[in-house]
Structure 1
Amino acid sequence: MSTNIDYEKIFPDILDLRGLSSGGQRSVFLGQHIKYGRIVLKICERITNHARILRELEIIKNNNFSNVPKLYETNSRNIDGVSVLYSIEEYIDGENLRDILNKQHFFSYHDVIDFMDKILQTIVELEEKKIIHRDIKPENIVRDRIGNYWLLDFGIARDLNAFSLTATSDNFGPFTPGYAAPEQINNSKRQLDSRADLFSIGMVAYEMLAGYNPIIKDSKGILNVIQRTETVRLPDFERSDKVNPELLLFIETLAKSSPVMRPPTAKIAYNWFKEITK
């Protein structure tokens, strides 16, 4: 598409549009919608990953999950002779965890509790709909200006009610190294459920407390990261403030390499978490 497109003329209900990011076939804009307030406009050329984009939009559109930005509108449109998919989504004013980690290296004990409370609650709701996010990582979590945590980007989410978009014969499923569970990496579809998201939450929570991801730190390439994931054991770390040992045990259990060693469901994990932190 041309870079000189007047998007405010194409989307007259959105004012003050400005670009946030652009890459590949996807462009993201921030604007003020006359009905919804501050929004994010995403425009995707319908060339590659069409099925995954539609799956992502269907999951968000058909559900109203806690701590997930609302999807107000989605449709297709011809822009500059190109058929595109667009979505208008709720804007979350805040910072993603990666940017915060890069600035302050680690989070307070209470911040980690707040993060786990919000995101575990979301995973329980996803589990009830048989949906697995599969990409929980600092880049996909935003802390807003009042301290709430939001889960973004359902681009590789798995809807267990629908057919899989990954061939069973593929050696690997879609994953982010250092955060994806072994069964997700290995495309072990029969084992794949919300326990994969629990693994990712455990890794993110540990990184928030320790300031680093132990699978990624000092690794020697992606194959080494995959190998470490298969045998992960979270190392001990020291903090100047005292961290609840029961919470550390909980995080360690979430991040077990074998899914049978993790809590069997997100709901059981969340109930255990509430018992620890009440």
Structure 2
Amino acid sequence: MLIQNRYRVLQLIGQGGFCKTYLAVDENQFPPVPCVIQQLSCQNQTPESFVQKAQQLKLLGQHPQIPALLAHLQDEQHFYLVQEFIAGSNLATLLEDEGAFSENQIWQLLVDILPVLKFIHDRNIIHRDIKPENIIRRASGELVLVDFGTAKLAQELDQLIAENCIGSPEYIAPEQAKGKAVFASDIYSLGVTCIYLLTQIPPFDLYDVANDCWVWQEYLSTRVSDVWRQDARGLNLTKILNKLLQKSISQRFQSADEVMLAMGIESKIQNSKFKIQNNLWQCIDTLSGLSSVSAGINCVSFSPDGKTLASGDDKIIKLWDLNTHKVLATLSGHSQAVKSLAYSLDGKILATASDDHTIKLRDINQFQEICTLVGHSHAVKSVAFSPDGQIIASGSWDKTVKLWNVNTGKVICTLTGHQLQVTSVAFSVQGQLLASASFDRTICLWQLPTTEVLLKSQEATGEFKNRPDCTLLGTLSGHAWAVLTIAFSPDGKILATGSDDNTIKLWEVNTGQVITTLLGHSWSVVAVAFTPDGTMLISASRDRTVKLWKVSTAEEIATLSGHADSVSTVAVSPDAQLIASGSRDKTIKLWQLVEQQGD
């Protein structure tokens, strides 16, 4: 079938009610471009209402997670919506191929889709057909909401007029089944979608008709935690899903905003800016090869010459040749997961910190272990070299920071200033300031003497606890949750911190005051890194994205999407042309700067 001598229909890919959906190609372009055509019956709407609907879909299509409307057409019997073709797999197909979704995947689904629902609801559009088949995951991992053929413009008069039942019976809300869909009807359908993906049991079988209630939890292969991802309001995934599924509209979440507030996330969609500019960077390769038992990549670091990338996962360190993107060497020795690694400034030594309570120093040229630093009583989560390479700082879940003599492998001193686990440590480029971050929601700034003074005094007196010449300059407070990562700017004037509260804060080091708070991630910020010139900050989050920020304006300038699970770590190459991100999806992605645009 050829529509208006332009669009060649290839196959029927969906059908329901008064709408048929076809895969087609636009033959006016060469080579022909794939598209999706929805054929609507003229009996169900007027030409005026169809044009109004097309105008609304044109606006919605500017959102990156909604297909663009390419054209709207009409003949004697049908209306046609020509939409962008979204390459990927819908969630129903993924469920069939990969099995029931995990808690993590359901939480991330809500994080990804709720802002899209808010976007369409803010424009008075009710989708009316939220279901797994209408949510597509691109190859990049981004979720896209499709099939707006049954969507309608909400009006006050609609509350008084009943329409025909529209939507997929297994997923529609009770009021929608009576022809009176409201915004909360989409919320209900999203809840049904979630419990189907969690259980892989058809929704009709998850409802106990005799007792008039959902019994989805009885069909779980593994119980959904009552405390998993709990926020300050005390709501967890189980409670959130149950409230999404309330039969009564008054007891259900009323809006996407309300759900996100309960989840402890915020909507960052701005009406005036739909698409994030990410054309500066592209993924040039995905490095993989971890064992099936690995929990993913925990840390990455570029060598100072930019020729090698080191990565750490469960007990193993791999060195990657950045010319060939192949493994150069595999180093073992830790008995538990490697959580942090750092190169010395001359690139000769690699330090690795592990949950096995130790730090190992390795000769990179010989691929040999130099020594093991022992002294922490709990997992070591972060390690950093001083600029001169003679001192190592380590942060541990034993609530302490230790300074080590690289040459002797002995502890110089132990710093105790945090009430809870230490998550990250960083030296300023000048080497006289050390910052440490903690689960206690604070950052400690330590003034250190010169390396010469530290090493000489150690020779004379041995290890000190809270040495008088290692001064606690101050404690920075402001994050609402645990501080997970820290980094100094190259000039040492700014400290960046990422937190479990989903935010990044930039602090003025001299005054300890917050310069600005960066909002944009929808989940915990677990890693931050400055580019060598200090103009850009790179952040990684459990929301599966890497974001790039312009430091001078605090503007979000790019979002790098592609990981299928939480991003755990990020690093930037010495020439700032390459970004490496590691994830729980067991891959490392290399992102390359491909085009430089002006401010």
Structure-1 residue corresponding to 2:217: 235
Please list every run of 5 or more consecutive structure 2 residues that lacks an aligned counterpart in the other structure. Answer: 230-235, 266-500, 502-522, 525-599
CA distance in 2, matches of 1:83, 1:186: 28
Structure-1 residue corresponding to 2:349: none
1:42 aligns with 2:37: yes
Higher strand proportion:
2
The TM-score normalised by the length of structure 1 is 0.74
**Is the 1:135–1:175 Cα contact (8 Å) retained in structure 2?**
yes
Give the AA of the match of 1:270: M
Relative to structure 1, the CA distance from residue 228 to residue 195 in structure 2 (aligned partners, 3 Å threshold; closer, same or farther) is farther
**Is the 1:232–1:257 Cα contact (8 Å) retained in structure 2?**
no
Equivalent of residue 265 in structure 1, options 252, 255, 265: 255
Percent identical pairs in the alignment equals 19
Question: How far has the Cα of 1:20 moved from its partner?
Answer: 2.8
CA distance in 2, matches of 1:162, 1:35: 46
Equivalent of residue 139 in structure 1, options 119, 129, 133: 133
Relative to structure 1, the CA distance from residue 229 to residue 30 in structure 2 (aligned partners, 3 Å threshold; closer, same or farther) is farther
CA distance in 2, matches of 1:69, 1:96: 14
CA distance in 2, matches of 1:132, 1:103: 30
Give the AA of the match of 1:185: A
Structure-2 residue corresponding to 1:168: 161
User: Which SS does the other structure have where 1:135 is aligned?
Assistant: coil
Structure-2 residue corresponding to 1:217: 205
User: Which SS does the other structure have where 2:12 is aligned?
Assistant: strand
User: Which SS does the other structure have where 1:216 is aligned?
Assistant: helix
CA distance in 2, matches of 1:45, 1:262: 32
Relative to structure 1, the CA distance from residue 254 to residue 25 in structure 2 (aligned partners, 3 Å threshold; closer, same or farther) is closer
CA distance in 1, matches of 2:33, 2:211: 39
Superposed, which structure 2 residues align to 1:1-278 within 5 Å?
A: 3=1, 5=2, 10-11=5-6, 17=8, 19-21=10-12, 26=20, 28-31=22-25, 34=29, 38-42=33-37, 44=39, 47-51=42-46, 56-63=53-60, 64-76=62-74, 84-161=78-155, 164=158, 168=161, 173-187=165-179, 189=180, 192-213=181-202, 215-217=203-205, 231-240=213-222, 243=225, 244=228, 246-275=236-265, 278=524
- The answer to which structure, 1 or 2, has the higher relative contact order (CA under 8 A, 6+ apart) is 1
CA distance in 2, matches of 1:37, 1:18: 12
CA distance in 1, matches of 2:107, 2:64: 17
Structure-2 residue corresponding to 1:222: none
Question: How far has the Cα of 1:153 moved from its partner?
Answer: 1.4
- The structure whose Rg is larger is 2
User: Which SS does the other structure have where 2:25 is aligned?
Assistant: strand
User: Which SS does the other structure have where 2:247 is aligned?
Assistant: coil
RMSD: 3.6
Question: How far has the Cα of 1:54 moved from its partner?
Answer: 5.3
User: Which SS does the other structure have where 1:136 is aligned?
Assistant: coil
CA distance in 1, matches of 2:255, 2:66: 20
CA distance in 2, matches of 1:133, 1:71: 15
CA distance in 2, matches of 1:10, 1:159: 31
User: Which SS does the other structure have where 2:35 is aligned?
Assistant: strand
CA distance in 1, matches of 2:247, 2:111: 22
The TM-score normalised by the length of structure 2 is 0.37
Higher helix proportion:
1
Please list every run of 5 or more consecutive structure 1 residues that lacks an aligned counterpart in the other structure. Answer: 220-224
Question: How far has the Cα of 1:175 moved from its partner?
Answer: 3.2
CA distance in 1, matches of 2:9, 2:55: 26
**Is the 1:68–1:150 Cα contact (8 Å) retained in structure 2?**
yes
Relative to structure 1, the CA distance from residue 233 to residue 159 in structure 2 (aligned partners, 3 Å threshold; closer, same or farther) is farther
